Chains A and B, each alone.
Chain A
Amino acid sequence: MTDRPLVEVSNLEKHFPLTRTATEYFRGQARRAIHAVDGVTVTVAPGETVGLIGESGSGKTTLGWLVARLHDPTGGSLKFEGRDIAKLEGDELRYWRRNVQVVFQDPVGSLDPRLKVWQIVGEPVRAQYVMERRFATQARARFRGRLDQKEERARRLQWNRYLRDRARYERWYRRRANARAIRAAGRGKPPQSGAAPPAGGSGTVIPEAPAPSPPVPARLTKQEVEAMVPLPPLLTRREVRRQVPLPRKPSRKQARARFPAPPRLTKLKLRNRVQAMLPTVGLPVDCLDQYPHEFSGGGRQRLSLARAFIVDPKLVVLDEPTSALDVAVQAQILNRLVELQRERRVAYLLITHNVAAVRYVADRVAVMYLGQIVEVGTVHGVLEHPVHPYTKALLAALPVADARRRRMRFRIGGDVPSLVSPPPGCRFAPRCPFVVDRCRAEDPRLRVVPGASGQQVACHRAEDVQDIAPESLLTSVDEPHAAPPGTAS
């Protein structure tokens, strides 16, 4: 196990915006949002199980979906193996998805009734194969296509440079030819200017009569120069290209060698792979051609497990994996989950409202209430010595197979409040029996409570309430009830 956590979630937020009504719009009221996950910080180490418990509406499923990037976070950071994945998109995201698999709650709805077992369980393998093939094709095309462009650019550059050099050469050649022609015209002829003989003579005048001097040659025209000294011929593009060798575009064969396609996935190979997977989740190997409706609830959930584990993910998000199952079947699935984790060193994010399941499977547990984590720590610490009043209430509310609880009455009242623009302060304050004024004004932060068993708690009164047992939130039926019972009978 490395020291680096597998998943680092810090201050993660997911707000689902609400549509404003016309009245709200014209009054200019701000857009409201459901604060499903509101500033959650949690880490998952490789090979570790983190349990998320809370009631429905506490945002635990949203958090799981965020970690699997099935939702896009609206704030905060989300790191997987040190890499920020909150903003991944497109093919990058698609490639990253192999690290995380999800097992959904509803074993009926999450399996396509028209696919057979080998198709359902093999689906992730097939999807990855198709994706890899597409990636290889794209990479090859890019490899060849990019050189194409390069070559094109190089050739254009080469031609332009030739044209430029040629023009320069022409100018130089013409100037030189002109000078030569002038010189040739001047030789064996009287100096062009009789009126002004070169100075430096004796000053004596030459007695001969001046011969009629030829006309001073004017600057030659281009045509005249070319007629006297022909320019080398202009090269064609093709000739230029032949002179300068360029890198060649790689052939298809080279591209294939550089970016090989994954080995072809035949139906037989896929079926074999699924067949090898089925015993590890406790299913018979001869059920490849059955349909999901032929399985019981536990069998369907095993299919979901097989589908998640067949691609060897590093993290599996288990979203209520056993809620739809009976107790005995639930025990089988939980045992299998623990065994699989031991064999494959996979990390779990176990989302459930079933405290018993979390107790058995998880190493650490985070308790969520209305989008925030109220308590996080080891399973022993949180479940044996809960500090936060909500954790205590949750544990006290669990129905236990113990006939003595018949005389007990649950003391926490009220309903889970709305998540739309929640007020400041502790979210549990309206239902909390230990509430003080500070709880309604100030947001509690997660902090380690001295004296508790190492867990972090978001409660202002953590020190005061940590010694109160969860059972004290139950009262005996014999005690008078706070609210007068109804008068009707």
Chain B
Amino acid sequence: MTDAPVVSIQDLSIDYVVGAGRFSAVSNVSLDVFRGHVVGVVGETGCGKSTLGQAIPRLLPEPPAYIRGGRILFQGQDLVKVPLWKMPAIRGTGINMIFQEPLNSLNPAYRIYDQVAEAISIRHLREKGKTVISHRETPPFDYSRRPTSDAAEALSRPVIPGGAVARVARNAAERHPELREEVLDYLRLVRINDPETILSLYPHELSGGMRQRVMIAMVLSEKPSLLIADEPTSALDVTIQAQVLTLMKELIEEVNTSILFISHDLGVIAETADELGVMYAGKMVEFGPVADLFENPRHPYTKALLRASPTRYKTDGPLSSIPGNVPNLSRPPPGCRFHPRCPIAKPKCRREPGPDHVAPAGVAERHTSACHYAQEVPGIP
């Protein structure tokens, strides 16, 4: 790993402030995604993995979310410090997301062609150096402050060409046959048979797997440097999920983009990711290459999670599960957050939080664990 990471998250902490309560959804998470790598993030519901994924393109609703600290370094700038109204320029061609429910991410009122073509034409406009920001992402009007008369400040802002540009882009898409060819190319890239008929359909006329493939085509057509896939196959059936995963695996080889793959399914992660981060209660408890992490888990939580997937019959005895519940994040337990459920917890775990990014002995390179007693983990029955 000589080149710089595509995105580097350093000590990121995110809180949700709800009423008087404050939930630390993500605390002190550090993560590097290198060029062409697929990094998986796995964890239970409420462990903060989706919050982490949405924080990178700053899609979190702020408030209630609040980035308490840390840095997200992307293309030489710290995304935490970038004002929100400048983010749309980075989203799309810079960072792009695939969400869980493809029907919610596609516009039900537009045909597939219009949606894919819009994505492509926006990229074309950006490649020509034009700024395409739709009027919605202008800085929000601050009612608390009187309008400034600072002409210099007004001139320094980019000229924001309202919704007309989007409309022009769409008209241009209809006028340009080469754009149509490009749309067809991307639909073929995601293995859609007979893409010509798909072009004039609406999203609701497609099956779930098809929708997700169109979504992937749209995302890839913008050629993002970082793709964040937030549970892209959870809403799909098993065989359709296998098809989409197969497609994603092939695209990873072909397109060579960096992916942050968020899922709660260890199996899905195992099939796609190169490296895997395991999150628990807002903390990254273990990180490492997938094969090594599965063979050689060095955190009690990872081990319990791996053993909890039911692969046995009723006659073989009860399944192993993790006793207790996920802690309440408004009052996380002191010390290591996993210690109330940990089989090897010791007094030190109650006092001190787990070490950050310590590589235990006997594991592969870049494999780190946040457990005080990582050496004892292989001994857990």
Chain A residues in contact with chain B, CB under 8 A? 49, 55-56, 296-298, 326-332, 334-335, 338-339, 353, 355-357, 359-363, 379-380, 393-394, 396-406, 408-410, 412-413, 415-416, 477, 481, 483, 485-489
Can you list 30 A-B contacts (CB < 8 A)?
A55-B238, A297-B45, A326-B45, A328-B308, A330-B308, A330-B310, A331-B310, A335-B319, A353-B237, A356-B309, A356-B310, A359-B310, A379-B313, A380-B313, A397-B238, A400-B270, A401-B309, A403-B270, A403-B291, A405-B271, A410-B243, A410-B245, A410-B246, A413-B243, A415-B210, A416-B240, A487-B188, A488-B188, A488-B189, A489-B255
CB pair B182 A488 closer than 8 Å:
yes
**Which residues of the other chain, B, contact A356 by a CB distance below 8 angstroms?**
309-311
A329 to B272, CA, bound (A): 24
Among residues of B, the one whose C-beta sits closest to the C-beta of A326 is B44
A297 to B325, CA, bound (A): 11
For chain B, residues 191 to 242, give those with C-beta under 8 angstroms from any C-beta of chain A: 191, 193, 207, 209-210, 221, 237-242
**Which residues of the other chain, A, contact B319 by a CB distance below 8 angstroms?**
331, 334-335, 360
CB pair A393 B239 closer than 8 Å:
yes
CB pair A409 B185 closer than 8 Å:
no
**Which residues of the other chain, B, contact A335 by a CB distance below 8 angstroms?**
318-319, 321
What's the minimum C-beta distance from B217 to chain A, rounded to whole angstroms? Answer: 9
CB pair A486 B294 closer than 8 Å:
no
| Other-chain residue from A56, A331, A360 in contact with B314 (beta carbon distance below 8 A) | A360
Determine if B186 is an interface residue (Cβ-Cβ < 8 Å): yes
Known A397-B241, A403-B290, A486-B185; 15 more pairs at CB < 8 Å: A327-B44, A328-B44, A330-B308, A331-B319, A331-B321, A338-B318, A353-B237, A360-B313, A363-B314, A394-B239, A401-B266, A415-B210, A416-B207, A485-B189, A489-B254
Determine if B101 is an interface residue (Cβ-Cβ < 8 Å): no
Interface size class of B (residues with CB under 8 A): 35 or more
**Which residues of the other chain, A, contact B290 by a CB distance below 8 angstroms?**
403, 406
What's the minimum C-beta distance from A4 to chain B, rounded to whole angstroms? Answer: 23
Centre residue among A330, A335, A360, A396 by max chain B CB count within 10 A: A360
| Other-chain residue from A326, A331, A353, A409 in contact with B246 (beta carbon distance below 8 A) | A409
Among residues of B, the one whose C-beta sits closest to the C-beta of A473 is B242
| Other-chain residue from A326, A360, A393, A401 in contact with B270 (beta carbon distance below 8 A) | A401
Among residues of A, the one whose C-beta sits closest to the C-beta of B45 is A326
CB pair A397 B271 closer than 8 Å:
no
A330 to B44, CA, bound (A): 11
Among residues of B, the one whose C-beta sits closest to the C-beta of A410 is B242
Determine if B264 is an interface residue (Cβ-Cβ < 8 Å): yes
**Which residues of the other chain, A, contact B186 by a CB distance below 8 angstroms?**
486, 488
Among residues of B, the one whose C-beta sits closest to the C-beta of A363 is B314
What's the minimum C-beta distance from A73 to chain B, rounded to whole angstroms? Answer: 25
CB pair B238 A398 closer than 8 Å:
yes
Centre residue among B210, B294, B304, B309 by max chain A CB count within 10 A: B309
Given the known A-B contacts A359-B313, A401-B267, A477-B253, are A328 and B321 also in contact in the complex, defined by CB atoms under 8 Å?
yes
**Which residues of the other chain, A, contact B291 by a CB distance below 8 angstroms?**
403-404
What's the minimum C-beta distance from A127 to chain B, rounded to whole angstroms? Answer: 31
Which 10 pairs, one residue from A and one from B, show the smallest C-beta to C-beta distance? A399-B267, A486-B189, A488-B185, A397-B242, A331-B321, A410-B242, A403-B291, A55-B237, A486-B188, A331-B319
For chain B, residues 282 to 317, give those with C-beta under 8 angstroms from any C-beta of chain A: 290-291, 294, 304-306, 308-314
What's the minimum C-beta distance from A480 to chain B, rounded to whole angstroms? Answer: 12
What's the minimum C-beta distance from A264 to chain B, rounded to whole angstroms? Answer: 38
What's the minimum C-beta distance from A315 to chain B, rounded to whole angstroms? Answer: 18
For chain B, residues 31 to 83, give those with C-beta under 8 angstroms from any C-beta of chain A: 44-45
Given the known A-B contacts A328-B305, A415-B209, are A399 and B313 also in contact in the complex, defined by CB atoms under 8 Å?
no
A382 to B313, CA, bound (A): 13
**Which residues of the other chain, A, contact B241 by a CB distance below 8 angstroms?**
397, 399
CB pair B191 A483 closer than 8 Å:
yes
**Which residues of the other chain, B, contact A406 by a CB distance below 8 angstroms?**
249, 270-272, 290
Centre residue among B242, B250, B269 by max chain A CB count within 10 A: B242
Among residues of B, the one whose C-beta sits closest to the C-beta of A323 is B234
**Which residues of the other chain, B, contact A298 by a CB distance below 8 angstroms?**
325
What's the minimum C-beta distance from A308 to chain B, rounded to whole angstroms? Answer: 19
What's the minimum C-beta distance from B6 to chain A, rounded to whole angstroms? Answer: 19
**Which residues of the other chain, A, contact B312 by a CB distance below 8 angstroms?**
359-360
What's the minimum C-beta distance from B282 to chain A, rounded to whole angstroms? Answer: 15
CB pair B250 A481 closer than 8 Å:
yes
Given the known A-B contacts A326-B45, A399-B270, are A296 and B325 also in contact in the complex, defined by CB atoms under 8 Å?
yes
CB pair A331 B308 closer than 8 Å:
yes
CB pair B310 A357 closer than 8 Å:
yes
Determine if B11 is an interface residue (Cβ-Cβ < 8 Å): no
What's the minimum C-beta distance from B274 to chain A, rounded to whole angstroms? Answer: 8
Determine if B268 is an interface residue (Cβ-Cβ < 8 Å): yes
A56 to B255, CA, bound (A): 31
A361 to B315, CA, bound (A): 9
**Which residues of the other chain, B, contact A489 by a CB distance below 8 angstroms?**
254-255
**Which residues of the other chain, B, contact A55 by a CB distance below 8 angstroms?**
237-240
